[in-house]
Every structure is written in C-alpha cells, then in structure tokens.
Structure 1
Amino acid sequence: MAKKKILYWECSSGISGDMAVASLLDAGADEKVLLEVLKTIPAHGFDIKIGRVSKSGLDCCDFNVVLDKDHENHDHDMEYLFGHDHTHLQEDTHHHAHEHVHEDGHTHEHHNEHHHEHRNLSDVIAIIDKTHMTENARALAVKIFTILAQAEAKAHGTDINHVHFHEVGAIDSIADIIAVSVCLDNLAVDEVCIPSMNEGCGTVRCQHGILPVPVPAVANIIAEYGIAVNQMDIKGEFITPTGAAVAAAVRTTDRLPDKYIIKKIGIGAGKRTYERPSILRAMIIETDAESERGKANNGCEEADYIYKLESNIDDCTGEILGYVMDRLYNAGAREVNYMPVFMKKNRPGWLITVICKEENIKTLENIIFAETTTIGIRRQKMERTILKREISEIVTPLGNAVVKVCDSGDSKVFYPEYESAAAIAKKNNVPLKEVYDIIKREINSGGQCGKKEKD
C-alpha cells in the first residue's frame, strides 16, 4: 500500500528561518549536503554553526548564521528589539559549549548601524542562481523570496522590483532561505501541513522604527495566503517575515490526516528569549496515500478531488487579468486560464477558470474578488482520475534533467519538467526545444534515471 510522507510543522512558538532549518535538520535532512551547498553562496561576512542546545530542558538542534561585525543586524538582541517596552522572562537556555554555538556577546553603543548591503529581488535571485543546489531547491528559494518581496513592496507602497530588502536581504536571511529549501528538497516530503501559527503581541524595533506585531510584512503574507494565526498574550515577535514566507511557500494543507504514524521528530531552537520557549517542532508523519486521496482503481490510477472556480468578467484590462493570474498561481492555484465568451447583451468578456485544492479556495476567491470586478464566483467539486507519478532525474550530456514519471499500467511515460529544461538551456546557451529533444533521446535510449521525490 502506497504511503504519503508529510511534514507537520507545529508552530506553537511561531516560526523563523533559523528555527525552520534547525527543525528540518533534526528531522533527518542531510547536514553534509546542506553545508556543501552553503559553502557555494557567493557572498561574504558570515559563517555557519550547527550544534545542540537545551531550551527549557528540551534537547534541540541549533542552526546559526554567524555574522561578522560589519553585517550584524541586532536580530537576536532582545534589548534592541523589545527594550522600548518589553519585559520578558528569561527562559532556561543552555548552549552545549563543545558545539561552538555563536552567542551575541558584543554591545551596540547607541545602537549604531553598521553598513549593510541593501539588495533588491534581482540581486538576491542572482545569488541564488550562482549557488550550487538542485533545481527544485533553487525554485523554492526563489519562490520564498518572491513572497517576501511582494509583502515588503505592499508594506512600503512600492513595486516588487524596486523594494530594497534590509533584514530580509541580509546574508543571514539569504542563507536561512537557501538552507530551508535545500533541507526540504532533501527530505522529499509529499505534503507540508501547517494548521496554524502562534504569534505574540506588542511592538518590535526594526530599521524602519517601532512596528506593531505582527509586523506589516508578516501581516501581508498571512492575509494573502490565508494562514490561521493564534495571538498569544505574550509580548514579542514570534513569526518573522522569513518564517512567514517559508510557511506560505511550502504549506499544502492546514489539516492533519485522521490517522498517521510519526516517523521522525525534529526540534529547532530559536535565538530569542521569551516566556514561552522559542522552539519549532517538525514531525515527519506517514499515512496511507489511498485513504487520503480516495479509493484506488487498478493500481496505477487514483481517485482524487479537485475544485473548479469560475467567473464571467467583462470589464477588466489584459494587464489586470495577467496580474491576477500571477497572484492566483503564487497563492496555490493548480491551473488558471481565460476563455473569450459572449455575455449578456452580446458583450465580449472572459471566463476565468481556476483549478485548486479545497484548502486554497478561500484565499483564491478573495484574490478574484479583490482584483477583478466580479461579484460572484461559481464553485464545483469534481472527482478526477490521475496516474500515479513521481519526480526523477535523468543524466544528459548537458547536465541532470528533472522529469516526471507517470505509471500508465503497462508502461511508464516520461515528461521533461519545464523549469529544469529551461535552466539547462540557459546554462548551456542552447534552444529549449533542443534540450527537450536531448532529454527525450536519453529517455528512449534507457539513460540513467534516479528517483528524486513524489510529485
């Protein structure tokens, strides 16, 4: 019986980039693979320390991007972050000395700022492109930063391509997001479940001044992606912009299966100290894929449910419709398309059709209502039959290519993945159609193919 591998992130103390990485390492992600990737980041001013710490008596993994003096950003300095109104209880945190875990021991006289590189989205993507990692990990890292850029742009009233990252564009956040992407790719889970996230209250100091919790970027992300938040009566910022963007980018469901088996537990430590221990628990759980997706048919097909959202629109420009499509895809839509139609009084218009999973309906409908002039959306639940599939890598003369392998019963059918083929075409400066032909030749000749993960 096929099994489904699910990552369940229990965000009872919020989520941040370093906590996410540490929890995934503790849950089984390959530390050696991660460190090899992080060595190739084309930037300076940081070092990586991975060790064990005790948080309120719990043994936790600690992932630390240690910055030099020219790049320090006060992110773990509780007096700087909350000293204006924050009195917190010091939690019992003990670092194992032999692990050389970095602690922020220097002072910030008058909180003077060091010089920081202020990177925009294209600068960050250029760094990601030059870092040696799998195409799946690279695509996820770009997705996370794009979500951050959209949230920051909205908060500051500017365009996504013109927003300059501060804390987010700092090298520690870049390292955190690349690390999360590499670890998730390495774990190869089928689903990521985040039912809700806990957040504190009050205010926090940042480069823009004193801001309310959740900070604007976090508020924009959780609103955009429909993430449920429980506000605790504890002063402090428990959800960071990086953590919120990671959650938005990878979450596939907010509901745990009725029955599951816990295969691995990882606990990641945060650096800040609050009344509640700053930890993030990751559980790798396993459940029967058939019981979640529906009754299996003939062994190579599975029953599954999908939702279709439809609306007729007659007074939106092409620019708006193109923008809406991008937002819908970024928010989890499986398919989005427009069809020209004639409406009442022979008015030409567009039929927008969105295919999605049940957990994405509310978020996608909110986007359609907010961005278009429609006043109604039709919703239909549909059962579909899908072939079992998995993602593999095949060796080609131009480099490894990601392919989707579908089991049709009597044979397997291979489909090159666009993002992987496009990356190979750019790297080798050859036409995309030529890359497709090369991949297909290698498949037909029985080229070496290795399993990567399920789709």
Structure 2
Amino acid sequence: MKVLYLDCFSGISGDMFLGALLDLGRIDISSFVASLHEFLPLSLAVDIRKVHKKGIAATQVVVSEPDPPKERRARDLFDLLTGSSLPEALKEKALKVLRRIAEVEGKIHGLSPDEVHLHEIGGGDTLVDVVGTLYALDLLEVQAVYASPIPTGRGFIHTAHGILPVPAPATLELLRGIPVYTGTLEGELTTPTGAALVSSLAQSFGPCPPLVVQEVGYGAGMRDLEVPNVLRVILGEREERATPEKNVLLETNIDDMSPQILEYLTERLFKAGALDVFVTPIYMKKQRPAFTLSVLSPLSLASLLRTIIFEETTTLGVREYEVTKWVLPRMATEIPTPWGTVRGKAVTKHGRVVVLPEYEDCKKIAAQTGLPLQEVFRIAQESASRKEAPTPGHRENH
C-alpha cells in the first residue's frame, strides 16, 4: 500500500503541502502547472521555485492573481469549482474541503456557509493549494495519508477581522478531535487551509507508521523561523499487517437510568471523537438488571469523553484502562454504483483488499429503490471488486 506521512514539525499550510508533494520529484512540474491552468477558470500565475530554509532545500509554491476581487464569498469559490473542467471525483473532493472551511467560518461569524466572506483564504491561491494538493495525491497514487500531531504556533496575527489569537478560530475548529500542541515558536504555523486538508485526508495522527521509505519531500513556508519552516512528507510502501494503537477504554455500570438516554449519549460521544461506544446487558447486586457502558477513546480525548459520561448519566464513577488495539490497514474509499457513489472502507487482509460498503449509504438506497438491503450490498461489493485502487479519503477512525 502506497502511503504518505506528513511530518508537521513546523506546522502545515496549503502551499507547504503542495510544495512538499512536488518536491518528491515524481511529478512533471510544467505539465502539472499546465493542468492547473486548464482546470481552474481563473487568470493565475503559479511560480514553483527552489528555496533554502535553514540549510534544507525545499520547493515553494507562490500563486498570484493579477486582478483579484476585493473579497470572495464561499459561494463564489463553490461556483468557480463547479464550473471548472476538473474531473468529477477531484471536483467533489475539493468542494468537500472548501465547504468544511466555509462551515467553520460560518459557525464562528454566525453566517450561512454560502455567505461567508473568506478574506485571507478567498483568493485563487487557496484554490490552487486545495486542487493542486488533491491532484498531486492522485498522480502519486497515494492510498493512505498519516500525519504527526499538529503544532499551531502561538501569539497573535493581523487579519481582516482585526487581531486574532493563534491558532486562528477557524484553524482550531478544523482541528477539532485532532492532537495539537502550541510549541515554542511565535506566529501562525498552521493555517485554515492546511488544517482543512490535513484533517480531511489524514487517517490517524501520531508517529510515522512502519513503512519502506521511497521518497522524501520538503515544502517551504513563506516566513523564516528559528527552525526550518518546511513541511516534510515521506512517501513509502506500508507493510500490509496489523499495527498497534494505544487507546483508553472508559467503562461504567449503570442500573438507575432510563435507557432512552442512551441514544443521545451515544450520538454525543461519537460526535466528540469516541472511536466506539457499546452497551452490554448485565446483572448487578440483588440481581438488578443493568448495563455496562463502554467507550473506546483516543488518548487525547479521554478526559473530554469522561466528562460527557458524568454529565449525561447517573453514574458516580468511571473505570479507565489503557488498551492496545491492533489495526489492519484501512482507508476510506468511494464505490461507483448504478445509484451513485457509495462510501466504503477498504481493508487489507492476507495480501488482498476487501472493500466494505457503508451501511447508511446502502440503507438509503434500499429505502429509495425498494430493493432488499442485501441486494444493494451485493451490487455495491461487486462494483467495488471491479474498481481500481482507492484514492485517499477522509480520516478513518478505528
């Protein structure tokens, strides 16, 4: 399986991500830039140059727009992409990333996502960063993306809304559920575009997984810092075997709460980042019927999920264990079917890839068509077996 690891020791931005992918040396840059001009209906100058950051040679991407509008609404960017000549699969992925940015900006400013004014991230450079990164990943045939924890930087930055703290509110919202740290460097290390890309593409965050290194690339940021201001990416082949992952298991026994609460509790726990939530019927002292609530959590979210359990249940205590989970290589993918695209999960088992269609998507199709759910699953799995190797999708929780 071809994988990409993002070593974000100096943060991540859209131009750093794109520059690092081009720095791998496997993409013809002149053809790549020509394709971007063909794809995007804007007059843009894309300058790709070699620079040095603290002695490290890196690729820097500089995009300029001769006559940019004063500002663009998110809807303007959506319309530009929708009317572009991008391949449909690439267009859909790019729209998903941009919509995530618009949604968090709308939440922060109390506006509809379509009406949000994107200011610093509304230029043509944002389109090049997002579309270029996704296109480069396709050209490199990357099947899975992993990343280190994300440094945000600290201090304050000047924006169209005035002076804001670092990380910017949009950046922090986009990194919800992802391990981050401030670090010691002043200024903005991770931008909203970088946060949107890494949170949409990376399947997990932590140390580099076991892989055979094939290429290493460096993408340069614009500023000069105390350390090399670069994003390092490692392209390699990952062994198709289970790898260990450290999690926390939270448990509590409950015998005095209405089971009606469980649906809401489960939804809230999953929304907060729980990897799994399940309930086991038990008998407690005096043979009272009860249940054990079990919540599997990333190490970084155990405290938050424990607080939710105390808030939403009648329990007075929660047991907590650190557990090791062995995970088979997997990735999110998309399956073409006669009824449109169905989401799926590609799992590598014994040297072959097994694609599992998403239950909710198949359920919706069965309800719309009147076909038995098992028949929808069968057709989706047959379509998956004919599909080429999956391309990277959203972060996959295990």
Residue 74 of structure 2 aligns to a residue whose secondary structure is coil
Shift of 1:439: 7.6
Contact between 2:212 and 2:236, CA under 8 Å: does it hold in 1? Answer: yes
Shift of 1:220: 4.6
Letter in 1 for 2:189: F
Residue 256 of structure 1 aligns to a residue whose secondary structure is coil
Cα separation, 1, equivalents of 2:389 and 2:377: 16
Q: Cα distance 1:221–1:411, how it changes in 2: closer, same or farther (>3 A)?
A: closer
Contact between 1:34 and 1:182, CA under 8 Å: does it hold in 2? Answer: no
Report Cα offsets for 1:60-98 as digits up to 9, x if no partner.
323344324233xxxxxxxxxxxxxxxxxxxxxxxxxxx
Aligned to 2:268: 324
Shift of 1:119: 2.2
Shift of 1:243: 1.9
Aligned to 2:46: 49
Residue 311 of structure 2 aligns to a residue whose secondary structure is coil
Cα separation, 1, equivalents of 2:372 and 2:390: 24
Cα separation, 2, equivalents of 1:180 and 1:154: 26
Aligned to 1:452: 390
Letter in 2 for 1:67: E
Structure 1 residue runs of 5 or longer lacking an equivalent are 72-113, 295-303
Q: 2:158 aligns with which of 187, 192, 205?
A: 205
Aligned to 1:70: 68
Aligned to 2:299: 361
Structure 2 residue 127 is matched with structure 1 residue 194: no
Cα separation, 2, equivalents of 1:38 and 1:262: 32
Contact between 1:22 and 1:61, CA under 8 Å: does it hold in 2? Answer: yes
Contact between 1:148 and 1:241, CA under 8 Å: does it hold in 2? Answer: no
Structure 2 residue runs of 5 or longer lacking an equivalent are none
Shift of 1:384: 6.9
Q: Cα distance 1:159–1:70, how it changes in 2: closer, same or farther (>3 A)?
A: closer
Cα separation, 1, equivalents of 2:271 and 2:380: 36
Contact between 2:3 and 2:142, CA under 8 Å: does it hold in 1? Answer: no
Q: 2:171 aligns with which of 205, 218, 227?
A: 218
Cα separation, 2, equivalents of 1:39 and 1:347: 69
Residue 452 of structure 1 aligns to a residue whose secondary structure is coil
Shift of 1:272: 3.8
Report Cα offsets for 1:234-261 as digits up to 9, x if no partner.
4x3222122233333426131235x754
Report Cα offsets for 1:192-224 as digits up to 9, x if no partner.
13145262x443210111223333333455565
Aligned to 1:280: 231
Aligned to 1:172: 125
Q: Residues 335-354 of structure 1: matches in 2 within 5 Å?
A: 335-336=276-277, 353-354=294-295
Cα separation, 2, equivalents of 1:216 and 1:35: 35
Q: Cα distance 1:206–1:365, how it changes in 2: closer, same or farther (>3 A)?
A: same
Cα separation, 2, equivalents of 1:69 and 1:422: 48
Aligned to 1:106: none
Cα separation, 2, equivalents of 1:208 and 1:127: 25
Contact between 2:279 and 2:294, CA under 8 Å: does it hold in 1? Answer: yes
Q: Residues 103-252 of structure 1: matches in 2 within 5 Å?
A: 114=70, 116-119=71-74, 132-133=86-87, 138=92, 142=96, 145-146=99-100, 149-150=103-104, 152=105, 155-156=108-109, 158=110, 164-166=116-118, 167-184=120-137, 186-197=140-151, 199=153, 201-221=154-174, 224-232=177-185, 234=186, 236-249=187-200, 250=202, 252=204
Residue 70 of structure 1 aligns to a residue whose secondary structure is coil
Q: Cα distance 1:446–1:65, how it changes in 2: closer, same or farther (>3 A)?
A: closer
Structure 2 residue 26 is matched with structure 1 residue 26: no
Shift of 1:420: 8.1
Letter in 2 for 1:362: S
Q: Mean Cα displacement is larger for which, 338-347 or 23-32?
A: 338-347
RMSD: 5.2
Shift of 1:138: 4.0
Shift of 1:22: 1.5
Letter in 1 for 2:44: D
Q: Residues 296-315 of structure 1: matches in 2 within 5 Å?
A: 308-310=249-251, 314=257
Aligned to 1:76: none
Percent of counterpart pairs with the same letter? 24
Q: Mean Cα displacement is larger for which, 12-21 or 413-422?
A: 413-422
Q: 1:14 aligns with which of 6, 11, 16?
A: 11
Residue 204 of structure 2 aligns to a residue whose secondary structure is coil
Contact between 1:6 and 1:285, CA under 8 Å: does it hold in 2? Answer: yes
Letter in 2 for 1:278: N
Shift of 1:381: 5.7
Shift of 1:327: 2.4
Residue 20 of structure 1 aligns to a residue whose secondary structure is helix
Q: Cα distance 1:388–1:283, how it changes in 2: closer, same or farther (>3 A)?
A: closer
Report Cα offsets for 1:309-335 as digits up to 9, x if no partner.
44578599789647625623xx4x444
Shift of 1:414: 5.2
Letter in 1 for 2:16: M
Contact between 2:23 and 2:59, CA under 8 Å: does it hold in 1? Answer: yes
Contact between 1:46 and 1:172, CA under 8 Å: does it hold in 2? Answer: no
Shift of 1:46: 4.9
TM score, norm. by length of structure 1: 0.61
Contact between 1:270 and 1:279, CA under 8 Å: does it hold in 2? Answer: yes
Contact between 2:14 and 2:126, CA under 8 Å: does it hold in 1? Answer: yes
Residue 280 of structure 1 aligns to a residue whose secondary structure is strand
Contact between 1:395 and 1:447, CA under 8 Å: does it hold in 2? Answer: no
Contact between 2:8 and 2:231, CA under 8 Å: does it hold in 1? Answer: yes
Q: Cα distance 1:403–1:214, how it changes in 2: closer, same or farther (>3 A)?
A: closer
Shift of 1:19: 0.7
Letter in 2 for 1:415: L
Contact between 1:393 and 1:451, CA under 8 Å: does it hold in 2? Answer: no
Report Cα offsets for 1:7-54 as digits up to 9, x if no partner.
33233332111111221232367566797578545xx54526252222
**Matched length:** 378
Residue 13 of structure 1 aligns to a residue whose secondary structure is coil
Structure 2 residue 348 is matched with structure 1 residue 440: no
